[in-house]
Amino acid sequence: MEYYAADFVLVARFAEVRHRLIADAQGNEHMVYRDNSVRWLFGILLLAMVARLGVVLTLFADYEPVGDAIHFHIMAKNFLSGRGLIVDEARLAYRTPVPALYVAVIYAISDSSVRAVQIANIFLGVVTVWLAYDLVRRIFGVGPARWAGLFVALYPTFLLYTGQLLSETLILLLIALALWLAWWAHNGSLIRFSLVGVVIGLAALTRQTALPLGVLISLWILLTRRRNWLQRLSPPLVILVCAVLTVAPWTLRNYILLGEFVPLTSLGGVSLWIANNPTAEGTGQDYSAFPHVPELDTLPETERGDAYQRLAIQFIEKNPLRFIKLALRRLQWFWHLGYHGEGLAEVVFLVVYLPMLGMAAIGVWKGWRLNRDAVLLLLTVPVALTAVHMVFLPAGRYRLPAELVLCMLAGIGAAWCVTAVAGSRKRQAVLAPVGEDKLLR
């Protein structure tokens, strides 16, 4: 009996040692996997930084602000000189403030260096890549996250706007951060949702079209947060209240300067008229050809905007079928479903963009089966922007936040395609000997 007892103890110890060895092996495997993930992420971020730096140093080596960028440049200089965030005395609320403040801060510490703003844009771009990677990783895993990170790191239009003093790089960061925070806060405390609202407010102060996104994210939380009605209603209310409070100081400033309620900018009425007038064609090129009314152009800033807005509404009311046709045309133009006659640069863009669009469609399909709530969150961005630009000007650069989401969804699609191809090859490898044996028979 003593021998049997000793044998039993030895077997038990052997089993314990074996269990520990297996646990250590699994732990080491996990550590190796984690190390590989970190290396992948570091490589993607390094690639994003190098690509953006290369574009800035080659394509924008002698860049000078023009177009909308010159307005942010002038606003930043005026702010630093004590004149306030204005383009000039006749345009006190012509642009949103955050891009100009961003440029002003960098100018203040770099002696008004445009290159310093470009370098800062590179940093913002790299952070955006990380946010996209981490959001997809949290929801769908490391494989889709790697593809999504690569797509955002190397997407051509993201690289090109890095070298310019426009709001694109900044709005991409804020939209990515808003989505990341919304997913992080989904089942958390109200404090987390307040951060979502603040970021939405900052995004609206960067570009007005972010406001509808805040509404859709709030609706998404209301529909997908599986709690009682009070716990469902409170987060959307917190988001909207915090977004309004973030925008409120700028709105109050506009009221003090202009004597009228202007939530963000005075451009809304003119923008509506540009897209909806007798000569409009429903394209992103309507801006250069819209009919000016000399009598209105001499009016003060807010009166001019209100007058053009009334003209646009009158046009829509008198021509409802024409408005619908223009809206559908703008839908096609906004999503670039066709050739716009812009030469080789557009062809190169379409070679990248159309496959990305197709891969994103696969990502929606597969992602919907894996996590419907997450896909609905990502889709809030393209849905909100599409709705806005079916009414307003559908210029291509206004689509960039939607393309950010396309890259994330395309990461899911690409990961599935790679897995499907690898699985097919494995099946072929297993079945091939069977097939050869049958042929030999």
| Res 167: pLDDT | 94
d(CA 440, CA 198) in angstroms, rounded, equals: 71
Identify the pLDDT of residue 1: 46
- DSSP-assigned letter for residue 88: B
401-417 pLDDT tens trace: 999 999 999 999 999 99
Check if the beta carbon of residue 72 is closer than 8 Å to that of residue 100: yes
pLDDT of residue 64: 92
Averaged over 82-101, what is the pLDDT?
93
Residue carrying structure tokens 């314990």 = 16
Percent with pLDDT over 70 in the chain? 86
Tell me what pLDDT residue 424 has: 63
Dist CA 284 CA 385 (whole Å): 14
pLDDT in tens, 207-266: 999 999 999 999 999 988 877 777 788 999 999 999 999 999 999 999 999 999 999 999
**DSSP secondary structure letters along 89-125:** TTBSSSS-HHHHHHHHHHHHHHTS-HHHHHHHHHHHH
Paired residues of 91 in beta bridges: 88
Q: Whose CA is closest to 119, among 106, 132, 133?
A: 106
Residue indicated by tokens 């997809």: 136
Are 336 and 399 contacting, i.e. CB atoms less than 8 angstroms apart? yes
Q: State the burial class of residue 190 (Cβ atoms within 10 Å of its Cβ: 0-12, 13-18, 19+).
A: middle
CA dihedral sign of residues 10, 12, 15, 16: negative
Q: What is the pLDDT of residue 425?
A: 63
* Digit-coded pLDDT (tens) for 273-320: 999 999 888 887 656 667 788 888 888 889 999 999 999 999 999 999
413-424 tens-digit pLDDT? 999 998 888 776
pLDDT at 173 over 90: yes
pTM more than 0.85: yes
pLDDT at 439 over 50: no
